[in-house]
Amino acid sequence: MDAKTIIANGQAVLGIEFGSTRIKAVLIDPDNKPIAQGSHNWENKLVNGLWTYSLEDIRGGLQGCYADLRKHVLEQYGVEIESLAAIGVSAMMHGYMPFKGNEMLAEFRTWRNTNTAAAAAALSKLFKYNIPLRWSISHLYQAILNGEKHVPEIDFLTTLAGYIHWQLTGRKVLGVGDASGMIPVDPKTCDYDKVMVEKFDKLVAPKGYAWKLSDILPEVLVAGENAGSLTPEGARLLDASGHLKPGIPFCPPEGDAGTGMVATNAVKQRTGNVSAGTSSFSMIVLEKELSRPYEMIDMVTTPDGSLVAMVHCNNCTSDINAWVGLFKEYQELLGIKLSTYELYCNLFNAALTGDADCGGIVSYNYVSGEPITGTSDGRPLFVRSANDKFNLANFMRAHLYGAICVLKIGNDILLNEEKVKVDRLTGHGGYFTTPKVGQRMLAAALNTPISVMETAGEGGAWGIALLAGFVVNNKQHLSLPDYLDNVVFAGNEGVAVDPDPEDVAGFNVYMKNYLDSLPIEKISVEFKK
């Protein structure tokens, strides 16, 4: 059938993902191919020292994204979306959204916030397990340490994906991958770690709260399970035009890390992916547990519950985007007509002609704090001495290198110290949009081949659409890895770029300069603007 018939018959599957700067919707056909897209731009705000989005922004962004999808479907196919085979919702992982009934008790605190150091350190010691600053449990305990008045009233705590799913289906559930960013999950049970839950309850018992932790967390589901259906209220929220009918099944809501793994076919052991956009993170599916906890490595799971070593960096391309924006202004000032994509490609390709070590110059892309390097606040910084080779090629290469230095720090532990085996590492996200450039830089940083798939450019919205399709289209009852291998990707492993020895040597020199100059970045954070 053609796409118009598929949409008219209600056989298309919808995936929606809330990214840091863009909400994206992807409609796929029964063969898992994208047939329509929609998007909505948004931006977080720094309110009272916390990075946040308002509920109005969230709900308005959901409607705006779907309305854009509906508009494109009408324009392209001349048909209205009235029903769908399945829906999936994904969003930025972690964070803090506490509720009493339908009332949110405090501002949504996103993954970007680094104000939870005391809580994360105390919980890591209590659990004997690395608890990152951005995890929901860190935000909850920090609110307790701060004596915030809303804490006793909490009856539900969730993530952004969990909130949107709840509003659309009425179900307070979460996919296991996203749940593993609230509090550690036991891969054997695919549920919250009972021992750690009990330790937390004992820790806060003197406070006398009416709730226990298990009372306020979402129910955990794994990929393939039915997570409810679109309610009449949810249908009105999603489609303000009123055409979409209720009753559509949903897959479990997931975090962007999990959907990135699905979109790059990296849910099987010894595979991994690197997502590089506003933030960056690598996900490597482990064959066994690491020898010990590491502060720089988070232990999460795939959407079907396999153990994953995650290296998460708060910053990646935002500072690059700011500099490209400056070049865009200069281009317009000169009256030169060039698309933004062409500008990015020209600048990124110029980086390939730069010195392998960037001529000595260094870039810190810290728009927000970066826990792995111990910086609590954002201070983008460009460092050079009078004798460094300062030209456009080295300038751009330094920014591309700087965007993945923190990622290298964590992955060096996995690949060099823990000797983790990876058969395939796949990249996706804006960092890889210009062909081969981002691949070559990351291959140099990690000294390992990096693959990129054409389909990975569809991103997490496509990944969550695949998970929604997995609920209704998995007629052979395959496991998620087998479903992706045999049904979705059918042997497509992408195009790999091998590390160039000269690039590797140059990146190592850059990395030494980066670490040697890090005190400058840390000192700059101590001074207010």
Kindly report, residue by residue over 360-377, the tens digit of the pLDDT. 999 999 998 898 998 988
Cα-to-chain-centroid distance, residue 103: 26
pLDDT digits (tens, 9 = 90+) for 10-19: 999 999 999 9
Give yes or no: residues 436 and 329 share one domain. no
Give yes or no: residues 286 and 391 share one domain. no
Cα-to-chain-centroid distance, residue 369: 17
What's the domain range around 508? 318-406+502-525
- Residue entry with tokens 């489609």: 239
Paired tokens of 341: 């994509």
Q: Does residue 282 lie in a domain region?
A: yes
**b or e along 108-125 (b: 16 or more beta carbons within 10 Å of the residue's beta carbon)?**
bbbbbbbbbeebbebbbe
Give yes or no: residues 520 and 491 share one domain. no
pLDDT at 69: 98
Distance CA 271, CA 286 (A): 8
Q: Does residue 520 lie in a domain region?
A: yes
Q: Does residue 94 lie in a domain region?
A: no
3-state secondary structure of 118: helix
Helix axes 160-169, 55-77, angle to 10 degrees: 70
Give yes or no: residues 470 and 423 share one domain. yes
Paired tokens of 520: 């400058």
Quickly list DSSP for 143-206: HHHTT-TTGGG-SEEE-HHHHHHHHHHS--EEEHHHHTTTS-EETTTTEE-HHHHHHHHHHHGG
What's the CATH number where 484 sits?
Answer: 3.30.420.40
The number of folded domains in the chain is 2
Give yes or no: residues 377 and 273 share one domain. no
Q: Does residue 148 lie in a domain region?
A: no
Paired tokens of 467: 């998970």
Question: In the chain, which residues have pLDDT < 70?
Answer: 455-458, 528-529
pLDDT at 175: 98
pLDDT at 83: 98
Give yes or no: residues 436 and 472 share one domain. yes
Cα-to-chain-centroid distance, residue 520: 29
Give yes or no: residues 520 and 474 share one domain. no
pLDDT at 282: 94
**CA-based nearest residue to 446, from 416, 417, 418:** 416
Give yes or no: residues 462 and 521 share one domain. no
pLDDT at 98: 98
Q: What sign does the dihedral 84-86-90-94 (CA atoms) show?
A: positive
3-state secondary structure of 339: coil
- Report the alpha-carbon angle 457-36-163, nearest 5: 80
**CA-based nearest residue to 22, from 300, 274, 317:** 317
- Write the DSSP symbol of residue 292: S
3-state secondary structure of 130: coil
Q: Does residue 8 lie in a domain region?
A: no
Quickly list DSSP for 459-519: HHHHHHHHHHHHHHH-TT---HHHHIIIIIITT---EEEPPPHHHHHHHHHHHHHHHHTHH
**CA-based nearest residue to 196, from 125, 107, 119:** 125
Give yes or no: residues 346 and 493 share one domain. no
pLDDT at 529: 55
pTM, two decimal places = 0.87
Give yes or no: residues 324 and 298 share one domain. no
94 phi, psi to nearest 5 deg: 70, -155
18 phi, psi to nearest 5 deg: -95, 100
Q: Does residue 285 lie in a domain region?
A: yes
Quickly list DSSP for 263-278: HTT--STTEEEEEESS
Give yes or no: residues 288 and 357 share one domain. no
Give yes or no: residues 424 and 490 share one domain. yes
